[in-house]
């Protein structure tokens, strides 16, 4: 194998995206990794001005020309590329001026960052959820113990009182402590023993859709974009229904607050299969993704990073428990919920492994939630 062929073989087998640009910034070579990242063939990309791969193409064109003119390499972090299907991805890239006889002027090296950024975000989300959940559990237990004592003492006091108007006061104490107890139970989350069985995700979404239609007197528009090939997954039916219902009801309430129900507001249930997907630090062979999308006003930016924390709500009457409870239920299934929101579109994405990563959760086997 000669020297030139060896270099060609190395370039063709690099995981890093490599592009060679001529003096007009047109692509003269790209390796297979570039074809995979850009989702386009060599034939389609050759001759294309590389600046137009970027969202801010004019700025990038100027930077490339300056690098070429001044023989100055540079690196940029977290730049945005636009793929042929208009999908935007985040990359780091480096530009190196070349002085070779082949006509190549610039070497452009690109590394995709979306996967790394997503994994970092998921790990932070999982860590924050675990921390807040442990904090809430500790606080809830501390509250629950004296509540039991207050309730018991009030009942004993009521038995000793002769005047009915005084008993009314103890009844208020008992009723309010019961209300607080129920709130604490919601903070603690499910504590009953449940079962994992084989479930169809569409049976879950159809059940939730029926509940939402009943709540809105059939005024809510619900569209379904299902992948019918998705096989059954292992899960606890009641927990999954509660999680999906909390997310869908959150979308419904967003539409209600904007007075969009029956006036163009809609919720979309979309399911897809994703292969070789990482949740946190664990890679799963196959994942079911459920998107719950509404075209409401979106989540306020000041709340967007905190919506999965307990007691955080964008509505004056909201308890701030629906989303944390949903996240907790999906975490029990080794999954995760992510949110992406902007005015006109809010998307909650539920990622559920079809195959759990340990032998603890088998069909019909009980587990402590």
CA–CA distance, 180 with 145 (Å, rounded to integer): 12
178 and 195 assigned to the same domain? no
Together in a domain, 144 and 100: no
**Residue 57: CATH number of its domain:** 3.30.450.20
Q: Is residue 236 part of a domain?
A: yes
The pTM score is 0.59
Among 212, 210, 300, 221, residue whose Cα is nearest residue 248: 212
Based on the domain organization, do 363 and 261 belong to the same domain?
Answer: yes
> Which region, left, alpha or beta, applies to residue 113 given φ > 0 means left and ψ of -120 to 50 means alpha?
alpha
Q: Where residue 258 sits, what CATH number does that domain have?
A: 3.30.565.10
> Long-range contacts: 320-326, Cβ < 8 Å, 24+?
321/186, 321/187, 322/246, 322/247, 322/249, 322/250, 323/246, 323/247, 323/250, 324/129, 324/132, 324/133, 325/186, 325/189, 325/242, 325/243, 325/246, 326/242, 326/243, 326/244, 326/246, 326/247
Tell me: the pLDDT tens digits for 81-112?
988 778 788 889 999 998 765 556 899 999 88
pLDDT single digits (tens) 337-353: 988 899 999 999 999 99
Assess if residue 344 is contained within a domain: yes
Domain boundary among 164, 188, 212: 188
Q: Domain of residue 324: give its range.
A: 189-368
Per-residue exposure over 306-317, b if at least 16 CB sit within 10 Å of its own CB, e if not:
ebbbbebbbeee
The domain boundary residue, chosen from 165, 188, 211 = 188
Whether residues 224 and 174 share a domain: the answer is no
Final residue in a domain of this structure, among 44, 77, 112: 112
Both 142 and 236 in one domain: the answer is: no
Do 184 and 194 lie in a common domain?
no
Residue 118 lies in a domain: no
Are residue 156 and residue 267 in the same domain, yes or no?
no
CB 81 within 8 A of CB 57: no
Tell whether 152 and 241 lie within a shared domain: no
What pLDDT does 100 receive? 67
Q: How many domains does the chain divide into?
A: 3
Per-residue confidence (pLDDT) for residue 269, from 0 to 100? 97
Q: Is residue 41 part of a domain?
A: yes
Pair 51, 64 in one domain: yes
Q: Is 117 domain-assigned?
A: no
If asked whether residues 215 and 361 sit together in one domain, one would say yes
Residue 364 lies in a domain: yes
How far is residue 112's CA from residue 316's CA, in Å, rounded to a whole number?
41
How many CB atoms are located within 10 Å of the residue 297 CB? 17
- Mark whether 183 and 193 lie in a shared domain: no
Low-confidence ranges of the chain (pLDDT < 50): 193, 359-369
Q: Are residues 205 and 307 in the same domain?
A: yes
**Does residue 134 lie in a domain region?**
yes
């Amino acid at each position: 194998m000669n020297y030139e062929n060896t270099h060609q073989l190395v370039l063709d087998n690099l995981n890093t995206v490599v592009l060679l640009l001529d003096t007009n910034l047109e692509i003269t070579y790209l390796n297979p990794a570039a074809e995979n990242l850009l989702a386009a063939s060599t034939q389609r990309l050759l001759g294309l001005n590389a600046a137009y791969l970027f969202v801010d193409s004019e700025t990038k064109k100027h930077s490339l020309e300056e690098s070429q003119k001044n023989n100055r390499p540079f690196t940029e972090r977290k730049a945005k590329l636009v793929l042929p299907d208009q999908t935007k991805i985040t990359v780091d890239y480096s530009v190196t001026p070349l002085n070779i006889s082949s006509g190549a002027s610039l070497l452009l090296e690109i590394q995709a960052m979306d996967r790394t950024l997503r994994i970092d975000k998921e790990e932070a989300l999982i860590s924050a959820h675990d921390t807040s959940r442990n904090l809430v559990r500790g606080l809830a237990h501390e509250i629950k113990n004296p509540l039991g004592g207050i309730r018991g003492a009030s009942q004993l006091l009521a038995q000793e009182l002769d005047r009915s108007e005084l008993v009314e006061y103890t009844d208020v104490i008992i009723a309010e402590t019961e209300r607080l107890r129920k709130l604490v139970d919601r903070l603690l989350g499910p504590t009953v023993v449940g079962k994992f069985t084989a479930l169809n995700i569409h049976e879950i979404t159809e059940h939730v859709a029926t509940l939402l239609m009943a709540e809105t007197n059939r005024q809510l528009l619900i569209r379904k974009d299902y992948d019918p090939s998705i096989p059954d997954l292992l899960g606890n039916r009641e927990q999954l229904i509660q999680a999906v219902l909390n997310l869908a009801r959150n979308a419904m309430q967003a539409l209600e607050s904007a007075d969009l129900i029956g006036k163009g507001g809609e919720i979309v249930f979309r399911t897809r299969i994703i292969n070789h997907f990482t949740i946190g630090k664990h890679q799963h062979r196959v994942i079911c993704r459920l998107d719950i999308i509404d075209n409401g006003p979106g989540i306020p930016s000041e709340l967007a990073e905190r919506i999965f924390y307990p007691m955080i709500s964008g509505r004056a009457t909201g308890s701030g428990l629906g989303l944390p409870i949903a996240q907790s239920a999906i975490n029990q299934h080794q999954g995760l919920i992510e949110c992406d929101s902007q005015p006109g579109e809010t998307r909650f994405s539920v990622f559920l492994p079809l195959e759990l990563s340990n032998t603890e959760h088998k069909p019909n086997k009980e587990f402590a939630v």
